[in-house]
Amino acid sequence: MHHRFSRREFLVAGGMAAAVSISRDALATPPANVVLPEVSSQASDKAAQHIVDMHVHFDEKNPNFVGDLVKVCERLNMTACVLTPFSNRKVIADAAKQYPARIVPFGFVDLDAPDVVKQVEELHTLNYRGLGELEFVKKPFTDPSYMPVYELANRYGWVVLFHTGIVLRKKFDEPEDVASYRMRAFHLEEIARRFPKITVLGAHCGNPEYEWAAEVARWNPNVFFDLSGSTLLKMHARLSEFRNIFWWSSTGWGSKAPEGDPGAFVKLVFGSDTGLDGIEGVLNQYRALFEACDVPANTQRLILGGTLAKILGLPE
Ligand SMILES: [Zn+2]
């Protein structure tokens, strides 16, 4: 395998096996020995579909990250929302100006930083379109101390990507002030309702609390989730179970949805959360889910790019 390890990943030496990369959510990138199902029926319209990937972390370790990313975007007809550490903000602001159809800048800020509000204001002046991935928080996402950031995001009409669910442990033998419960999917409900101009995106669909994630998305038109991380790998032999979680298609129990789509799966968006060489693999995982759950073609189009293209004002 020739997976490039990004800053956010770390290495697990796997005995005689090749190295396996693990993302925050554990196993976002399918290991090389996992055979992903081929979904050949989708192959013909791959070229036509405009993909919007909500979950591309800026890779500080790759000096040619922008060039490499643009190549992948051209090949997949994709726009990448690049989750950019504040210290790298200028590089991606410039890249977004140069490649507006391929790169959308998102600010990866620390909600507990004392100057986070100032950082967010500066990102706005640099034409950033949102924040994310917000994670490793010291308090639950709904803590009052985070409200000034959400108020700004609401004023800007931004898209904000929150990590939800289980989170990786960076160091196994040192104390860490990190806990998944602070990032449970149901916290997004309060943020979405108090700040209706924010498009609230939850990464990883609350893994493993998919039901909470889906129900919060069902009642809140401004909430969507991506299925990046280990979920589609963990569930690969039982993907049809997602029909029980996204259950309300055509029942009248949904809320306002993009293009009035009555399908429950329209509450998903595409996010890869992987190295640049893993994005296509995650696309195939999404397509396997579509097949297992009979997701209609138009809903697939909205999930893979249509919904976010509209929200971000991108050409479809
Ligand atoms: Zn995450």
Output the pLDDT for position 19: 34
Output the pLDDT for position 5: 39
How far does the centroid of ligand 1 lie from the alpha carbon of residue 274, in Å? 10
207, 185 Cβ separation under 8 angstroms:
no
Is 12 contained in some domain?
no
Q: State which residues form the domain around 138.
A: 43-312
**What whole-number distance in Å separates Cα of residue 246 and Cα of residue 126?**
37
Is 6 contained in some domain?
no
User: Please, what is the angle between helix 279-292 and helix 65-76, to 10°?
Assistant: 30
CA-nearest of 88, 225, 8, 188 to 106 is: 88
Reading the chain (316 residues) residue by residue, the pLDDT tens digits are 333 333 344 333 333 333 333 444 444 444 444 444 444 444 444 456 999 999 999 999 999 999 999 999 999 999 999 999 999 999 999 999 999 999 999 999 999 999 999 999 999 999 999 999 999 999 999 999 999 999 999 999 999 999 999 999 999 999 999 999 999 999 999 999 999 999 999 999 999 999 999 999 999 999 999 999 999 999 999 999 999 999 999 898 988 999 999 999 999 999 999 999 999 999 999 999 999 999 999 999 999 999 999 999 997 6
What CATH number does the domain containing 263 carry? 3.20.20.140
Is 7 contained in some domain?
no
Is 24 contained in some domain?
no
Output the pLDDT for position 10: 39
Is 21 contained in some domain?
no
Is 230 contained in some domain?
yes
How far does the centroid of ligand 1 lie from the alpha carbon of residue 163, in Å? 4
How far does the centroid of ligand 1 lie from the alpha carbon of residue 72, in Å? 22
How far does the centroid of ligand 1 lie from the alpha carbon of residue 304, in Å? 19
Is 17 contained in some domain?
no
Is 136 contained in some domain?
yes
- CB atoms within 5 A of ion ligand 1 belong to 24, 163, 203
How far does the centroid of ligand 1 lie from the alpha carbon of residue 263, in Å? 25
How far does the centroid of ligand 1 lie from the alpha carbon of residue 41, in Å? 30
Question: Three-state SS string across the chain, please?
Answer: CCCCCCCCCEEECCCCCCCEEECCCCCCCCCCCCCCCCCHHHHHHCCCCCEEEEEEECCCCCCCHHHHHHHHHHHHCEEEEEEEEHHHHHHHHHHHHHCCCCEEEEEECCCCCCCHHHHHHHHHHCCCCEEEEECCCCCCCCCHHHHHHHHHHHHHCCEEEEECCCCCCCCCCCCCCCCHHHHCCCHHHHHHHHCCCCEEEEEHHHCCCHHHHHHHHHHCCCEEEECCCCHHHHCCCCHHHHHHHCCCCCCCCCCCCHHHCCCHHHHEECCCCCCHHHHHHHHHHHHHHHHHCCCCHHHHHHHHHHHHHHHHCCCC
Output the pLDDT for position 29: 46
How far does the centroid of ligand 1 lie from the alpha carbon of residue 303, in Å? 19
How far does the centroid of ligand 1 lie from the alpha carbon of residue 207, in Å? 10
Phi first, then psi, for residue 159 (nearest 5°) are -100, 130
Domain count, the chain: 1
